[in-house]
Amino acid sequence: MSSIERKVMSVVVFRIDRRSGVATYLQIVRQVEQALRMGALEEGDRLPTAAQVAATTKVNPNTTLKAYRELERAGLAEVRQGAGTFITRTLAEPGAGPEWPLRTALNAWLHQARDEGLGGEEVQALFRAAFEAAYPSAPQS
């Protein structure tokens, strides 16, 4: 596996919520868009293959291909025959890269929580409670 594939596999981990009422292919599209906004995916990055997504999410490979076609239609990705699907542009705001102040503050908070002995589930619960307080009308997932 190349370093790019390792990077993408560690960055893009699709989480499918079958109870959300949102079509599975749209969940994939939205997760890629979010990764693009956050700077986690960049121009030239390779997305996991439909078979890789199927193996990790139990989603039909055709569903992933539909999502990738939608990303291609939106001008965010391109399919290169025999090579894979690659990101063609970013949605990140200028300055939203790894050193973006909000990301830096969040990373510091996460490290502090870990250093104080909080586990992943506790951190997620704290974040969820804070998020719901700040965004009370946000849809639940």
Would you say 23 and 70 are in contact if contact means Cβ atoms under 8 Å apart? no
- For 86-110, write each residue's pLDDT tens digit: 999 888 765 555 555 676 777 788 8
Provide the token pair at 66.
Answer: 């539909």
The closest of 27, 42, 32 to 96, measured between CA atoms, is: 42
The closest of 31, 50, 51 to 41, measured between CA atoms, is: 31
For 41: left if phi > 0, alpha if psi spans -120 to 50, otherwise beta; the answer is beta
**pTM, full prediction:** 0.62
SS3 37: helix
Q: What is the pLDDT of residue 25?
A: 95
Provide the token pair at 5.
Answer: 């594939």
C-alpha to C-alpha distance for 58 and 25, rounded to whole angstroms? 13
C-alpha to C-alpha distance for 86 and 105, rounded to whole angstroms? 30
Low-confidence ranges of the chain (pLDDT < 50): 1, 3-10
Q: What is the pLDDT of residue 139?
A: 55
Q: What is the pLDDT of residue 7?
A: 47
Sequence letter at residue 97: G
